[in-house]
Structure 1
Amino acid sequence: MKIRYIAVAEIEFDEAVAWYLARSRGAARHFGKEVRNVERLLLRYPRIGRCVELDARSLCINDFPYNLIYSIEKSEIVVVAVAHHSRRPGYWMDRLGDTR
């Protein structure tokens, strides 16, 4: 099993890193580390996230107001959003069709 980000989720991740980097290099590094920790956890326990939609799960990124929203496909975990807690709930739902 592997992890793949759809393009718009990659952009969200990059924007979050850039936001933290503009404020603190250490915070940006810590954010990246916590995202990698979540990825490792997902590879080990893909169903650990809370079911938020029929084909989507959500897992909180420790120490940061973000969740990884993902779906489980046959051979990969597809991240559809790096969702900030202040965003409208479910804004990412139309992306679920983009996972293939």
Structure 2
Amino acid sequence: MSVVRLSPEAVDELVEMAAWYRGQRPGLELEFLAEVDRVLPLIGGSPASFPRLIDVPEDLMIRRALLPRFPYAVIFMDLVAEVRVLAVAHAKRRPGYWLDRVE
């Protein structure tokens, strides 16, 4: 199992999204965060089981995991020593905005 590390930007996105969902319906932010919490161990356990993004250079090994209940994807790099979450991005808006986070 790989260690999953979230970039500071991904953490900021989670906080922002949780606040938005809280404004929609109290408690919905907890459901959103629980969904993310369910996906992260799956990513760490088998990162290669998630599809690679085809619109980025293949050598970057960037993959995504869709959240089943919410229109977001966890965008991550499958590295040798760890899995690095670059973004929690809306599945339909601003594709690739997180590319400058790749190191």
Same fold per superposition (TM over 0.5): yes
Question: Share of identical aligned residues, percent?
Answer: 34
Amino acid at match of 1:82: V
**CA displacement 1:54-86 (0-9 Å, x = unmatched):** 221011011101000000122211000110124
Alignment of 1:29-40 (within 5 A): 29-40=30-41
| TM-score scaled by length of structure 1 | 0.88
Paired residues, what number? 97
1:25 CA displacement: 2.7
CA RMSD of aligned residues (A): 1.2
| TM-score scaled by length of structure 2 | 0.86
5+ residue gaps in structure 2? Answer: none
5+ residue gaps in structure 1? Answer: none
Does residue 80 of structure 2 align to residue 79 of structure 1? Answer: no
Say which is worse superposed, 20-29 or 61-70, in terms of deviation.
20-29
Runs of 4+ in 1 over 6 A off after TM superposition: none
> What secondary structure, in the 3-state scheme, does the structure 2 residue paired with 1:62 have?
coil
